[in-house]
Structures are given as structure tokens and as C-alpha cells.
Amino acid sequence: MGEKIKVLVVDDDRRMVKTMCDILRVKGYEAESAYTGEEALEKVMRRDQDCVLMDIKMPGISGIEAVEKIRDMKPGLPVVLMSAYATEEQADHARKHGAYTVLTKPIDVQMVLTFLSLLRKENSILIVDDDPEFCKTLKDIFQARGYEVESEFDPGRVLDRLEQSYRLVVILDLKLGTASGLDVLKEIRAKYPSKPVIMVTAYGGEMVASIEQGLQIGAYTCMYKPLEVDQLVRVIETIKRIKMREALGEPNFGAGG
Amino acid sequence: MFRRIWNKARINRKLMVINLLTTGVTLLLTCSALMVAVFFSFRESLVDSLSAQAKVLAGSSSAPLLFNDPKQAAEDLRALKASPNITRAIIYDKRGGIFAEYLRDGQKKDLSPPPRVREGYRFSADYLHLFHGITLDGERVGTIYLRSDLWQLHSLMLQTGVIAALTTLIVFIFASLMLTRLQGAITGPVFSLVHTMRTVSSDRNYALRAEVAGEDEMGVLAKVFNEMLEQTQESDRKLRIEIAERKRAEEETRRLNEQLELKVEERTGQLLAAQEELVRKEKLATLGQLSGSVGHELRNPLGVMNNALYYLNTVMTDVGENVKEYLDIIGHEINNCQRIITDLLDFARVKTPQSRAIAAGELVADSIRRCAVPESVRLRTEIPETLPMVVADPAQMVQVFENLITNAVQAMPEGGSLRISAREVESEKLRVSSSNQQPAASAQEVSSGKLKVESSNMELGVSHFDAPGSDIQSETFNLKPDADFVEISVEDSGEGISPENMKKLFQPLFTTKARGIGLGLTVCRNLTEANGGRINVESRPGEGTIFAVLLPAERSLAWEKK
């Protein structure tokens, strides 16, 4: 994967920061430390981070305030909060304002490491469409946003592709030349029941029955061409977020099973 | 002395004495008067007869005197022999010298000198002396003296006295007899009245009446007494009624007092309980705050320790067994501390469950994974595949089962068998049992019956069936209505729980362990109830304990949606 994943560890307890950073470094991450919320914001501004692990209770601005500010500055940056004893209101508030989750100290280090290992992994998208133009433009858009994108126009090879490497999400056109996208969806769901699949189609009117059927057997959602790219990005971000939060032990409802 | 005897004497004796006394005095006076009269009249007649003889003698003596013939005179005097009572007679001459004398035969010669002449008569002690002048032609020639003895008078007086005495005696006897006979007429009613009075007084029988005999004072007395009795009886009756009423009132008062006392006792008990509850709640609130801050302060260093341990474990890959063991010990103790803090914090505040459908088997498997079950404990899980999913917060319920399994293992320090089973419980049965107000008992019967069917070695359940009176049960309520439940039981073969501990089982800070703060089961209950379930416990000291956790089944959730 080339570059090391950069993690910013923020806590007013220096020993906590040190131990956490040491573990991360031993595990092959690049760890940076900050001891206040302000310092954390400064470091987030100055350098691209892949993830922030931050305590809630700190002198100066709290972890929750810092999360809100980070979301404004770097919308996609995953922030995981840590707390010795956060109230539910605090946790809800933090989640609403962009924190992935609130972990209770002592932190399950293994779980955090698993989560971090997913940061890069949960970045891959498979586009299944027989329109090369569509594939190309989408690929460019998502690669620009740091995603790893592959495309496939042969419905028969979709499962092979999924077998070859992990994909966060599949973007599936319902009309693949002569083949039906719905059949492909059925195949995917049979083998990967929890794989999120986003259906796209240019023929909203004609395909209503297929769309309904697709949603019924577990497609995550359906979008219409021409695609609203921002909307698609948001959907994929959400899916990624859900996946990542699952790794952190967060319960998910309606994750598209 | 006399007065005392008199006062003591019966009325008939008094009557007798008074009567005899009266009669005696009357007779005495009468006889005395009679005797005095007899005495004087006899003396007069004595004087008269003596005077007459003296007159006769004087007539006959005048001649001898005149002729100075004393012999003739003496001869004349001798004629007095015919009168035996005259003992001495003397004729004096003119000058007063003795002319002739007569002495009665048998009489000793009277040596006493002749009395001096004087006129008239006089009585001495034994005699009547009489002088009578002898005259001749109007000239006094001498005097005659006669002396009569008083024998006749004395004998007459004696006779009269004897007759009087005899008469008195006879009269006394007659009077006594008559009194004895007749006084009954007076004393009879008195005695009868007295008897009646005594009876009334001693028996307090105011219904008795005295016999009214006649119209006299006794009759009046009896009548008045009867009237008094009448009044007494009436007032006695009223009094009795009043007493009865008072008694009833007193009884009523006593009863009310007792009720009042009971009520006061009850209220005092309630008050005390309320106060205790208040104090307990205050304590718990303080404990909650304390738990929060202590937990917070401890979790940070624990976090650092945990991180440090993880780092060491990661870095030190080729250390000796001893170091590895020590690292494990540290890890284990960190987990212990963490669990205590979690209990404390969970006790201080139960989080809203993040419920979802999850298989009972998965919950149990997760829980067992977190527990260190020693090899001396035989672990058996009997969870049918066909069970519906339960709807609960997995993290919270895993915490509950982890706690229960850890408790079960700790209850069997020498080893034993740990059985974790699950089964369906229909809400119908729970509803029926709660309408009987014995939810645990009925639920237990169901459970016992099932245990009996499922497995032959479930003596615990069977014996419960046989001796329901000895059941020791504790339960918690907060069931969702109309829900089907899945019951997950953790059953150990440990020492069991004593009845007195059973009551306090779910109380915060109650523990029988040397280590631990006694919040585990409280938290289990709180968490289970927050998840819409409940925990039932049954235990047989020496045989083991079953903790049964009822959780709502998913099926009911699906129904609710419909």
C-alpha cells in the first residue's frame, strides 16, 4: 500500500498518548501525538491524517468540540473518540457531529488496530457497467477522492472480481447489454449476502419492476442516470462509515445486511 | 358487760327478759302492798282484841282493887289462859305498884321488870304492850297491863309471803310458756325478714321478696323492704345493663385501641421502611456519583496499563514462560478491575439498550468466550436451533450472562457441572401466572416440568415440583406484556444460596464473596429489566442454583410490527 497510515493520537494523559503511539508504530502505523484539542486541530490542518484517536475530556476544547471543527475542516477524516466515562448524550452528540464512535477506556487495542487496517481496505469500489464512458468518468471522480476503483463490463466475471479482492461496494447497472443486472445482483447476494450494492439505471420508468425486485432482495439503493455524483459519494461514504463503525463494535441498523 | 351481752342477745330473749322483768316487778309490788295491808290490819285487830280483853279485865278487877284482894285479882287474871297469845298480864294499883301478875304457862318467870305504867299500846320487836286504866265510879283505881306475843302476826306474814312467792313462780312459768308460744307472732316476721335480707345481701338476688304477715309495723317493714328491693332490683337491672354496655364499650375501645396500635405499628413500619428506602436511595445516589468519578479516575490509568501491556506483549515475542505468565496475570487483573468499574458505572446508570435481534446461542457463546471456565467445571449448553431470536442489547446481555456464568463458576470452587440451557416460554403462561399473582411459582412449575421431561438427572427441578413449599424464589418484574419469551438458564451444582441471602440477592452492595463490591447481580437485574426481561432465581442450599433470564423473543416483535 505504499505510504503508512497516519494516525493522530490526542489525549491530555501523556502516558496514554505514548503507549498508544508506541503500539501503533510497532504495528506499522505512523503515529503523531497531540495533548490538547487545539494542538490536534492544528496538526490536522497542517498534515493529512488518515485517522484521529481522541480523548473527550481534555482541558481547553473538548474532544467533541474538536470533532465538530475537524468535520468542518476535513469532512472525510475518520475520528474515533475515547472516553473513560462518556454519557450517552455525549456519545450521541459526538456521533451526530462526525465521530465514528466513542470507545470506552481501557481501549480494546485489537479492535482499534482492526479498524485502522480497514481504513485503506474499505476504499475500493467495483463498477459494473457496459458503458465504458460511464465507468471512466466515475473512476476518475472517485480516485480523485482517494478511492480505489475498478470496472467490469462482463456480467459473468463479476463474482471472479469480487473473489480476487475485497470491495467495499458494488455499483451495478441494471441494464448490461443483453444480460440483466438483476441476475448479477442475485448472484452477488447469493455469495456475499452483506455486500452493499448500489443499482444505477437510466430507464427509471421501464425498470420499475426490476428496481423494486432489486431493493427487495437487498440492494442498498437505486440511483438514476445521469448520476448526481455528490449524492453517490455521500452514499458510499455512509456505507464506508457503517462498515468502519461495525469494526468498532457499533451496532448498525439498516446497514443493508 | 351487761350491755354487751344485751347487744348480742337475740330479740326473742330480749323480749322474754323484758316481759319477765315487767311481770316480776308487778307481782312484787302487788304482793308487797298486800302484805303491808295484811300486816297493818292484823295488828289493828290484835290491838282491838287485846283492848277488849283489857276492858273486861279492868271491869272485873276494880272490885278486888277496891277491896284490896290481890288473890281475887290474880284469880281473874288466870282466866287469861284461854287466850294463848297473852303471855303476861299485870294489874297495877293506884300508886302504880304491882297488885297482881299473870304469866303464861311455859313461860319462864319473867325477870324483866314490869314496864312503867303508861296509857295506850306500843309494839316492841316481839310483843304488843297494852295499858288500860281501871276506873270505879269515875275514879281511877289502877291500871291493867297486857302483853301479847306477835307469833300470829308473824306466821300470817310468813304465809302471805309464801303464797306470794308461789304465785310469782307460777306466774313466771306461765308467762314464759305463753311468751315462748306467743312471741313467734312478732319475732317470726322479724326473723323471716332478717333471713330474707341476709339472703338478698349474700346472694345479691334482688328478685326475692319478704313475706308480708299482717298490717302491723313488721308488715309495713316487710312491705317497705320489698319496695326497696323492687327499686334496688330495678336499679340493679339498670346497673347491670349499664355495666354490660360499659363493658361492651370498653371492649370496643380496647378493640379499637388494638386496631389503632396495629395501624400505628403498620404505619410506623411503613414510615421506617420509607425512611430506610430514602436513606438507601440517598446512599445509592451518592454511590452513583462516587462510582462515576471513581470509575472515571480509574479507567484512565487502567487504559494506560492496558496499552502498555499490549505493547509489551507485541514487542516481547521471545520472552520466557515466567514473564509471559506475569504479563497474563497483569492482563487478567486489569480485566478484573475493568469489570468492577463497569459494574459500578452500570449500577450508577443503566444505558438505554441498543436492542436488536440476536440468537440466544450467539449471546451465550459470546458470554462463555469472555469467561474463564476452569477444567474442573463440566460445561454443557443445551440451546435448540429452533429457538426464536431474542431482542436485546447484545453487549448488555453478554455482560449479564458473563456475570451469571462467573458467579456460577465461583459457586463451585471444587468443580461441578454448569448447564446453560434455553427454551421458549409462551407469554400466555406468564400472563396466567401473573394474574394468579404468583408469576414465579407458575413459571417455575413450567420450568420444572420441562426440566423433568428434558433430562432425567435434573433432580433440582423435580424436587422443586415435589416440595413447592421449600422453594426459594426471587424475581424481578418489568415484563413487556403480550410477548413471547426465551428463557436462558444458567444452572450450577454449587453450594446454593441460603434463604436469608436469597432475599438480599439483588440488593446493591450485598455480596458473600471475599472480593467484589456486590453490584454484579443488581446490574444484571437492571440490565435485564432495561431489556424488557426479568431474572428468576431458585436455589436449593447444597444442591445448586438456577438463574433464569427471560428475554423477549423476536417473534413477538414481528407481531408488534404487524
Amino acid at B192: S
d(CA B363, nearest CA chain A) in Å: 15
Indicate if the pLDDT at residue B70 is higher than 50. Answer: yes
- B189/B195 Cα distance (integer angstroms): 10
Closest alpha carbon within chain B to A103: B303
Question: Where is the domain boundary, A72, A93, A120?
Answer: A120
For A105, the closest of B300, B354, B395 (CB atoms) is B300
Closest alpha carbon within chain A to B352: A88
Indicate if the pLDDT at residue B472 is higher than 70. Answer: no
Burial of A217 (0-12, 13-18, 19+ CB in 10 A): middle
Of B12-21, B122-131, B252-261, B506-515, the range with the lowest mean pLDDT is B506-515
Query: Along the 257 residues of chain A, how does pLDDT read in single tens digits?
Result: 457 889 999 999 999 999 999 999 999 999 999 999 999 999 999 988 889 999 998 888 999 899 999 988 887 788 999 988 777 788 888 888 888 888 888 888 888 888 888 887 777 888 888 888 888 888 888 888 778 888 888 888 888 888 877 788 888 888 877 778 888 888 888 888 888 888 888 876 777 888 888 888 888 888 887 778 888 888 888 888 888 888 777 654 433 33
Beta partners for residue A179, in sequence order: A176
Cis omega (within 30 of 0) for bond into B374: no
Same domain, A218 and A156: yes
Give the rounded distance of the alpha carbon of B136 from its chain centre.
119
Closest alpha carbon within chain B to A11: B300
- Do B295 and A22 lie within an 8 Å CB cutoff? no
Contact B183, B16 (CB under 8 A): yes
Question: Where is the domain boundary, A96, A120, A144?
Answer: A120
Selection from B352, B297, B303 nearest residue A87 by Cα: B352
* Phi, psi dihedral angles at B215 (to 5 degrees): -110, 5
Contact A191, A167 (CB under 8 A): no
Residue with cell 456486590: B518
Q: Which residues of B touch A27 (CB under 8 A)?
A: 314
- B18/A157 Cα distance (integer angstroms): 161
Collapsed DSSP state (helix, strand, coil) of residue B422: strand
Looking at chain B, the whole-number percentage of residues with pLDDT higher than 90 is: 8
Alpha-carbon torsion (A70, A76, A82, A85), positive or negative? positive
Q: Which residues of A touch B366 (CB under 8 A)?
A: none
Q: Does any domain span residue A133?
A: yes
A254 touches chain B (CB under 8 A): no
Indicate if the pLDDT at residue B477 is higher than 50. Answer: no
Q: Which residues of A touch B306 (CB under 8 A)?
A: 106-107, 109
Q: What is the pLDDT of residue A256?
A: 34
Same domain, A159 and A218: yes
Q: What is the pLDDT of residue A251?
A: 58
What cell does B542 get?
Answer: 447444597
Collapsed DSSP state (helix, strand, coil) of residue B135: strand
Same domain, A130 and A209: yes
Diameter over CA atoms, chain A: 63
Q: Tens of pLDDT along B117-157?
A: 677 888 888 888 888 888 888 888 888 888 888 888 888 88
**What is the band of B437 on the pLDDT scale with cuts at 50, 70, 90?**
very low
Same domain, A99 and A140: no
For B308, the closest of A19, A82, A107 (CB atoms) is A19
Q: What is the pLDDT of residue A213?
A: 84
Q: Chain A neighbours among B 279-318 (CB < 8 Å)?
A: 292, 295-297, 299-300, 302-308, 310-311, 314-315
More confident residue, B79 or B112: B79
Q: Does any domain span residue A205?
A: yes
A88 touches chain B (CB under 8 A): yes
Same domain, A86 and A15: yes
Selection from B133, B205, B177, B164 nearest residue B29 by Cα: B164
Q: What is the mean pLDDT of chain B?
A: 80
Contact B385, B419 (CB under 8 A): no
- Do A23 and B300 lie within an 8 Å CB cutoff? no
**What is the band of B445 on the pLDDT scale with cuts at 50, 70, 90?**
very low
Domain B2-182 belongs to what architecture?
2-Layer Sandwich (3.30)
Provide the 8-state DSSP code for B132.
Answer: E
- B38/B22 Cα distance (integer angstroms): 24
d(CA A108, nearest CA chain B) in Å: 8
Q: Chain B neighbours among A 42-61 (CB < 8 Å)?
A: 57
A104 touches chain B (CB under 8 A): yes
Residues 6+ away with beta carbon under 8 Å from B335: none
A15 touches chain B (CB under 8 A): yes
Same domain, A37 and A100: yes
Of A40-49, B186-195, B470-479, the range with the lowest mean pLDDT is B470-479
Same domain, A169 and A193: yes
Domain B350-561 belongs to what architecture?
2-Layer Sandwich (3.30)
b/e sequence B548-562, b meaning 16+ C-beta within 10 Å: bbbbbbbbbbeeeee
- A62/A37 Cα distance (integer angstroms): 6
Q: What is the pLDDT of residue B420?
A: 92
Q: Which residues of A touch B345 (CB under 8 A)?
A: 85
**What is the band of B441 on the pLDDT scale with cuts at 50, 70, 90?**
very low
Same domain, A88 and A43: yes
Q: Which residues of B touch A91 (CB under 8 A)?
A: none
One-letter-per-residue 3-state SS of B500-529: HHHHHCCCCCCCCCCCCCCCHHHHHHHHHH
Same domain, A112 and A41: yes
Same domain, A103 and A157: no
Q: Tens of pLDDT along B340-372?
A: 887 777 777 767 788 888 888 888 988 888 887
Q: Does any domain span residue A193?
A: yes
d(CA A26, nearest CA chain B) in Å: 7
Q: How much is the ipTM here? A: 0.74
Q: What is the pLDDT of residue B145?
A: 87
Residue A123: how many other CB atoms lie within 10 Å: 19
What pTM value is reported for the model? Answer: 0.50
Q: Does any domain span residue A150?
A: yes
Closest alpha carbon within chain B to A22: B311
**What is the band of B478 on the pLDDT scale with cuts at 50, 70, 90?**
very low
- Do B300 and A16 lie within an 8 Å CB cutoff? yes
CATH classification at residue A228? 3.40.50.2300
Q: Which residues of A touch B305 (CB under 8 A)?
A: 106
- Do B299 and A253 lie within an 8 Å CB cutoff? no
| Average pLDDT of the segment spanning B173-183 | 85
Residue A10: how many other CB atoms lie within 10 Å: 28
Indicate if the pLDDT at residue B522 is higher than 90. Answer: no
Contact A111, A128 (CB under 8 A): no
- Do B351 and A88 lie within an 8 Å CB cutoff? yes
Give the rounded distance of the alpha carbon of B9 from its chain centre.
42
| Average pLDDT of the segment spanning B527-539 | 89
Q: Which domain holds residue A228?
A: 123-241
Going from N- to C-terminal start, the domains of chain B cover 2-182, 350-561
Selection from A23, A30, A3 nearest residue A120 by Cα: A3
> Could you write out the DSSP letters of every residue in B232-244?
HHHHHHHHHHHHH
Residues 6+ away with beta carbon under 8 Å from B306: A106, A107, A109, B331, B334
Contact A201, A173 (CB under 8 A): yes
Same domain, A116 and A129: no
Q: Does any domain span residue A70?
A: yes
Same domain, A90 and A112: yes
Residues 6+ away with beta carbon under 8 Å from B118: B131
Strands of the B416-425 sheet, one edge to the other: B377-382, B416-425, B485-492, B544-552, B534-540, B473-475
Indicate if the pLDDT at residue B561 is higher than 50. Answer: no
Indicate if the pLDDT at residue B555 is higher than 70. Answer: no
More confident residue, B474 or B161: B161
**What is the band of B114 on the pLDDT scale with cuts at 50, 70, 90?**
low
Residues 6+ away with beta carbon under 8 Å from B402: B367, B370, B371
Provide the 8-state DSSP code for A5.
Answer: P
For A26, the closest of B303, B314, B352 (CB atoms) is B314
**What is the band of B483 on the pLDDT scale with cuts at 50, 70, 90?**
low
Domain count, chain A: 2
